[in-house]
Amino acid sequence: MGFMAFWAACGFKILNPTYFGWLAANDDPFQHLIGWLFFKDSPWSFPLGLNPNFGLSISSSIVYSDSIPLFAFLFKPFAKLLPSSFQYLGIWTLLCFILQAVFSWKLLNIVSKSILVNTFVLPLFIFSPIMMNRIGMHSALVGHFLILAGLYLNLRASQLHRSLLWPLLIAICALTHFYLLALVLGLWLASLLDTMQNHQASKKELISEVGVVLAVLFIAMWQAGYFSVGLSSVSGGGYGIWAMNLLSFFNAKGWSYLLPAIPGVESVLDNFQYPGIGVLLVLIFALFKPKTLRALLIQLAKTKLWFLILIIAFAIFSISNYVSIGPVRLHFELPKFLLAIGNTFRSSDRFFWPAVYLLTLVGVAVVIKGYSKSVVIIIFLVASLFQIVDTNAGWGKLNERLNKEIPLVERQKLKSNFWEIASKKYKKTILAPAGTPSINWRVFSLFSAEHQIGTTGAYLARVDSRRLSQLQSNLQNGLIDKEALYIIEPQALPSMLSGLDFDRDLLVVVDGYIVLAPGWRDCVNCDQTFTALNLNEFLRPTQIKQEIIFNKASEINKDYRLNGWSKTIESWGTWSNGTDSQIIIPLPKNAHAKTLTLNLRAFVNSRHPTQKVDIRINGSTSYSFTLSSFEDNKIVLPIPPLSLKQGYVSLKFEYPNAASPKQLGLGDDDRVLAVGLKSVLFD
């Protein structure tokens, strides 16, 4: 039945391991695919789950690309035998359907021993919208069978083999997805407490189980790469963004022909808890048997109290401190330590999943106990038919999307022979500005994966914030890695120019992308016919004899200042901060400028009477000056032929004796000051 449900909802096309189209519709499934492609071709590391080429300096691991480490570990040893374009996410999805049926059957056997009854009930669990809604979007989270397995281990009568089954389940969850791990760890803890309270195992056995679970958990998380980011980077922030709306259990948006969407209830992937119309029918029939329902809940509370407490706690956590009822939203503050936990699991609505399945099981149990067998069969037959047919509103569209031939447009965007040459010359691609994800991450992560070079163009669930900050700093300061090909977005271009070697490096637009290729002009095998980028197209134009002001009221100070300037812009201009700084200014287009006049302040006083300034123009011509006046320091620089050829003036200032007011005993200002840039003028 699980296999048939997979065929109905997904078809068989996604089982083709070389078919990528179904994973290209959204960044998330593309992330899962690309993470695996990098991992497949990278050498084995220790821990096993490290994925260094996918992210480079901000790199984490296979677990943070949500690429299902369990399957990545299974298939990687055979990477050389597999097609270069190979994905296992379709196989995983089929397995999820089959195991969803298997563990649903085991759960149903707890409340019914009738094969006929259980067969009619099974579609309620297999055709689960909250599970099927993840297909082709969050592949790892299709693994709801892990939640069902945790429910089964809690509710089964016997607690034999606990110390084997729970560690095995927890290890599989750790190697699948962090949220599934959190849910099942909670279920294990509840089971442990209930077993202890019911005296179903000795203290020695339970202590031993705790030791085994913790050891297995640590090893699985360690090898999957959970610890590849700092602890401060684990919290994603935003608890409450994807919280459960109290009406989302009834909101069928897109997954029912009969039930309309409820106004004001968002129904994106997160904040979707609709169980299906068949489940709602069963729950309605169960509510008509209040005595049976009450007796069942009392019995459950007596034998599985901690389990019930956990399910309720998970449900409350899923609602978050942003309580939503339809369009109405109420907010209350949380203590910092609780908010930190919440921020780690910002998609909190997922914590309602165990409650959805438990409610379904309780409804089934009440119907079985409250009605005659013939009525029970009719109820479940009708409910399952409604479940299958009505949810076709959702899974029918899913089938159409998964089987539609979708080409990878990312491959089609890089047409120039430049890219093939660059893939042989460079060991990595770096996208500027640094961030997760960059605008162009899909194009260049696929390019890098298929050419087996590293990239910072990675989309990851978690990155190390400290290492990301360092990469951002390097890019802002123009620190160029000669082994990297840089893909630069226009807003990051000015800061990157500070590290450009105009004699050796190539700055060019290829297929619409701004590219910095370090050392390209020295490369014998590199095509030298590419036309260098005209920077005037990216910088705000200037006029001859028109003063360019760098004070707080002027917008242009953001365009022309590069690194080494104070973040504080004042009414008169801006101070340098550090031992060097840089500006870049385009030449006037319609007039021939001969000189550039700088109007500077100098950080001089009785304790620091002179300020030395060395100025390098466009990386070649150099001048040195000594300033002794606080105001009205006018420096006139001739514009060299190289600047005229390149269309702009790039000035790098160096300050050999810059000092801070704090060093000189003039206050608490610890900025290292040298000159204050007030204005420049072309003449």
**DSSP notation for 215-234:** HHHHHHHHHHTGGGS-GGGT
Contacts 24+ apart (CB under 8 A), 463-467: 463/55, 463/58, 463/60, 463/64, 463/229, 463/233, 463/436, 464/58, 464/60, 464/228, 464/229, 464/230, 464/233, 465/229, 465/230, 465/232, 465/233, 466/230, 466/232, 466/233, 467/57, 467/58
Q: Is the pLDDT of residue 155 over 70?
A: yes
Residue type for position 201: A
Residue 286 to residue 291: CA distance in whole angstroms: 10
Structural contact between residues 101 and 122, judged by C-beta atoms closer than 8 angstroms: yes
Residue 550 to residue 678: CA distance in whole angstroms: 5
Mean pLDDT, residues 148-153: 98
Residue 271 to residue 252: CA distance in whole angstroms: 11
Reduce the DSSP state of residue 21 to 3 states and report it.
helix
Mean pLDDT, residues 61-78: 96
Reduce the DSSP state of residue 632 to 3 states and report it.
coil
Residue 384 to residue 406: CA distance in whole angstroms: 33
Residue 621's alpha-carbon distances to 28, 167, 635, in angstroms, are 50, 68, 15
Q: Is the pLDDT of residue 3 over 90?
A: yes
Structural contact between residues 530 and 418, judged by C-beta atoms closer than 8 angstroms: yes
Structural contact between residues 296 and 363, judged by C-beta atoms closer than 8 angstroms: no
Q: Is the pLDDT of residue 46 over 60?
A: yes
What rounded mean pLDDT belongs to the chain? 91
Beta-carbon contacts of residue 161 (< 8 Å; ≥ 6 apart): none
Task: Tell me what pLDDT residue 492 has.
Answer: 81
Residue 144 to residue 148: CA distance in whole angstroms: 7
Q: Is the pLDDT of residue 96 over 90?
A: yes
The more confidently predicted of residues 342 and 211 is: 211
- Range in 152-166, 180-194, 497-511 the model is least confident about: 497-511
> CA 380 from chain center: how many Å?
41
For the chain, the domains span 160-392, 410-533, 548-682
Task: Tell me what pLDDT residue 537 has.
Answer: 67
- pLDDT tier at 268 (50, 70, 90 boundaries)? low
Q: Is the pLDDT of residue 58 over 90?
A: no
Structural contact between residues 551 and 557, judged by C-beta atoms closer than 8 angstroms: yes
Its pTM stands at 0.83
- pLDDT tier at 266 (50, 70, 90 boundaries)? low
Residue 577 to residue 599: CA distance in whole angstroms: 17
Nearest by Cα to 497 from 432, 441, 453: 432
- pLDDT tier at 493 (50, 70, 90 boundaries)? confident
Domain at 548-682: CATH code: 2.60.120.260
Counting every residue written for the chain, the total comes to 683
Structural contact between residues 99 and 63, judged by C-beta atoms closer than 8 angstroms: no
Residue 102 to residue 108: CA distance in whole angstroms: 10
Mean pLDDT, residues 54-77: 92
- E-strand ranges in 525-587 read 548-549, 574-575, 580-586
Residue 202 to residue 666: CA distance in whole angstroms: 72
Q: Is the pLDDT of residue 311 over 80?
A: yes
Beta-carbon contacts of residue 98 (< 8 Å; ≥ 6 apart): 2, 3, 6
Sign of the torsion angle spanned by Cα atoms 54, 57, 63, 64 = negative
Q: Is the pLDDT of residue 580 over 60?
A: yes
- pLDDT tier at 647 (50, 70, 90 boundaries)? confident
Structural contact between residues 63 and 32, judged by C-beta atoms closer than 8 angstroms: no
Residue 639 to residue 621: CA distance in whole angstroms: 10
- pLDDT tier at 491 (50, 70, 90 boundaries)? confident
- Range in 312-326, 437-451, 482-496, 550-564 the model is least confident about: 550-564
Task: Tell me what pLDDT residue 558 has.
Answer: 66
Backbone angles phi, psi at 663, to 5 degrees: -60, -35
Residue 611 to residue 625: CA distance in whole angstroms: 8
Task: Tell me what pLDDT residue 267 has.
Answer: 53
Residues 308, 312, 315, 321, Cα dihedral to 10°: -160
